[in-house]
Amino acid sequence: MQKHLQMNDYKERHENEIFTKVLKAGRRTYFFDVRETKAGDYYLTITESKKNFSENGEASFEKHKIYLYKEDFKSFEEMFKDSTDFIISNKGEDVISERHDKDFKTRTYTIESEEEI
């Protein structure tokens, strides 16, 4: 029964996706999904997925999601740029973290079909 529910959840999650970009960044993965409303308009979901491991070694994913609608794009973009500019101008582009690998390269790609997931 549990498997059936998961398949339905997967189908529902992916059937209204129009476009997807993925950014892998260490243990975190960011999904930028363009989806379609029931009325036929588009909106954006940004999901952060972070892989965690329990004490027994089992992997789990912690997810956080933002829903962004067209009427908020301009304000969101402006505030995002202001915030990232503030960080860079005050702390520079170098990552300040003992645990972060400075040689790590982020990768972006577009998912063309469900088979690539």
Q: Are 111 and 22 spatial neighbours (Cβ–Cβ below 8 Å)?
A: yes
The SS3 of residue 62 is: strand
What are the residue ranges spanned by the domains of the chain? Answer: 2-92+101-111
**Using one digit for the tens of pLDDT, what is the confidence trace for 22-31?**
999 888 999 9
- Find the Cα–Cα–Cα–Cα dihedral 10, 15, 21, 26, rounded to 10°: 0
pTM, rounded to two decimals: 0.65
Collapsed DSSP state (helix, strand, coil) of residue 80: helix
- The number of C-alpha atoms within 13 Å of 110 and in the hemisphere containing its C-beta is 5
What topology is assigned to 2-92+101-111 in CATH? Nuclear Transport Factor 2; Chain: A, (3.10.450)
The confidence band for 55, taking pLDDT boundaries of 50, 70 and 90, is confident
Angstrom distance (rounded) from CA 109 to CA 57: 29
The yes-or-no verdict on residue 84 having pLDDT over 70 is: yes
